[in-house]
């Protein structure tokens, strides 16, 4: 049976093979699944199968990986419109709404993926859930100033359903407490993970309430953004279109 890494590789490669064509401006996601999509772009550029690709990375570590593979990079400042972005997700609900940001790159991921004509999500089947929330804590990127106040404000939002705010410590690249120092994002912000005991009833309403909270930079609810989800499972690869 294929390992989890092998499944991630399958969907990462398929997304690039199916959706990336020569001459495109593409968004490169962040995380263990998106890693393989970036790898595939580098391979196909090196072989000459792809030409004239320009890419926008969604994190410092994706930028470093892309540079090591010789992928030409740019930024949204010069290219505000992308043809396609490919990225992983931490949770995918039946309506293809997502929770992202387990790897701490949610702001850069969202600004790039909102600017993309198509947004292709690549996951293994463990990321599918019946409702967002309990499956994976919801990350929120916040300014360091008065962070405990911001956390209390988040906990008090009507659509938050009593979720508990936990300040991320240790590495910003996962939500495990693997250190005592407060985790810092690529944007020099803090990360708060919201822990739910029951599914989020209205992700769109919650997204609106979070982003209106003073002190919040961005949140990991990616609602009504997905073009397609490519899923690797025991039975092979499947695709769900929005």
Which residues are the active-site residues?
109
Do 41 and 72 contact (CB within 8 A), yes or no?
no
Q: Which of 103, 91, 117, 132 is nearest to 30 (CA)?
A: 103
How far apart CA 120 and CA 27 sit, in angstroms, is: 10
Structure token digits, residue 202: 């209205």
Q: Which tokens belong to 197?
A: 């005991």
Name the token pair of 177.
């407490």
Closest to 114 measured CA to CA, from 198, 171, 186, 58: 58
* The CA-based dihedral angle spanning residues 126, 127, 129, 133, taken in that order and rounded to the nearest 10 degrees: 130
């Amino acid at each position: 049976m294929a390992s989890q890494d092998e499944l991630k590789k399958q969907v990462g490669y398929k997304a690039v093979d199916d959706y990336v064509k020569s001459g495109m401006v593409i968004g490169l996601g962040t995380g263990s699944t998106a890693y393989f999509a970036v790898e595939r772009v580098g391979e196909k550029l090196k072989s000459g199968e792809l030409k004239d690709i320009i890419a926008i990375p969604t994190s410092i570590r994706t930028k470093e990986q892309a540079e090591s593979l010789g992928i030409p990079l740019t930024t949204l400042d010069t290219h505000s419109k992308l043809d396609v972005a490919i990225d992983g997700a931490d949770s995918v609900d039946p309506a293809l709404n997502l929770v992202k940001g387990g790897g701490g790159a949610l702001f850069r991921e969202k600004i790039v993926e909102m600017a993309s004509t198509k947004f292709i999500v690549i996951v293994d089947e463990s990321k599918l859930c019946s409702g967002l929330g309990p499956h994976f804590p919801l990350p929120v990127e916040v300014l360091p100033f008065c962070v405990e106040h911001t956390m209390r404000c988040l906990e008090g939002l009507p659509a938050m359903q009593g979720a508990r705010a936990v300040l991320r410590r240790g590495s910003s690249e996962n939500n495990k407490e693997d250190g005592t120092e407060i985790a810092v994002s690529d944007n020099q912000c803090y990360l708060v993970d919201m822990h739910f005991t029951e599914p989020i009833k209205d992700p769109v309403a919650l997204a609106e309430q979070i982003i209106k909270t003073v002190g919040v930079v961005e949140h990991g609810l990616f609602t009504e953004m997905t073009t397609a989800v490519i899923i690797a499972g025991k039975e092979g690869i499947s695709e769900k279109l929005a």
